[in-house]
Amino acid sequence: MTDLSLQEPSDMLGNTIMDGVALYEAGEFMPAYDIFHACAKAGDATAWFWLSVMHMNGDGVAVDKVIGFEFCRKAADMGEIQAQTNLGVMYIQGDGVPEDAQTGLTWLRRAADAGDTGAQFNAATLLSAGKVVEKDLQTAARYYEMAAESGYFPAQARLGFSYRNGFGVAKDRLKAFLWLTLASQHGAGSAISMLEGLVAEMTPDELHRGHQMVEKWRQDHSGGARDLPFRVDTH
């Protein structure tokens, strides 16, 4: 384990996390690391998260997933939500720590309940698959809906599938139409094919009401597709 107290940064104490992020995004990894390091020593949870990312990816430092995990755990313990999401996935996939799906799910649910879309989708994926944790379709549907409302189209597709088939929710063709339509707009192949089958079963009145629901959702949300830095693999 690396002891940060023994590694003094190079006079970066006046810089902020945003300065470090700007340098990181410009590929200036070592000065970015110095800034994150200084901020972490001052007790900044987000700085610990960025140090974790750099060690996990090997950005300007050697890849060291054990250290990456340790720094992510520090940030998560301090309440950094994105770190909690990443930590959950690390436990589930065994990155820098022995695999522990149940502990991973606990961290994901903490971040999901705090509003993180990635955690919501990953927790729902685990709970709906039921391969490494106990299956819970109702809770999975609730997390899919939280992520879907944020505009994350893979969650919209999964939620539409859930309403189409009654997985964790009561069957509802109108809600299935809503979510499958939204997901289809992003080219989700499974959503498109399922939507086609659903439309063939709906009455003209149902289709009219379904289109009204879609239009209302668009008016009420600014949703769009989002990329997740880590995604749980349940295969």
Task: Tell me which residue range forms the domain holding 17.
Answer: 1-79
Q: Please count the structural domains in the chain.
A: 1
* Number of alpha carbons in the 13 Å side-chain half-sphere of residue 109: 13
Q: What is the pLDDT of residues 199-221, one digit of tens each?
A: 999 999 999 999 999 999 999 98
Instruction: Determine, yes or no, domain membership for 12.
Output: yes
Residue 229 to residues 33, 73, 83: CA-CA distances in angstroms?
20, 17, 11
Instruction: Determine, yes or no, domain membership for 116.
Output: no
Instruction: Determine, yes or no, domain membership for 179.
Output: no
Instruction: Tokens 């919209």: give the residue.
Output: 156
How far is residue 89's CA from residue 43's CA, in Å, rounded to a whole number?
24
Instruction: Tokens 């809600």: give the residue.
Output: 175
Instruction: Determine, yes or no, domain membership for 144.
Output: no
Amino acid in the structure at residue 148: A
Sign of the dihedral through C-alpha 6, 11, 15, 20: negative
Instruction: Determine, yes or no, domain membership for 13.
Output: yes
What DSSP designation does 4 have? G
Instruction: Determine, yes or no, domain membership for 51.
Output: yes
How far is residue 103's CA from residue 106's CA, in Å, rounded to a whole number?
5
Query: Are 70 and 58 spatial neighbours (Cβ–Cβ below 8 Å)?
Result: no
For the whole prediction, is pTM greater than 0.75?
A: yes
Q: What is the pLDDT of residues 88-143, one digit of tens each?
A: 999 999 999 999 999 999 999 999 999 999 999 999 999 999 999 999 999 999 99
Token pair of 125, please?
A: 């994926």
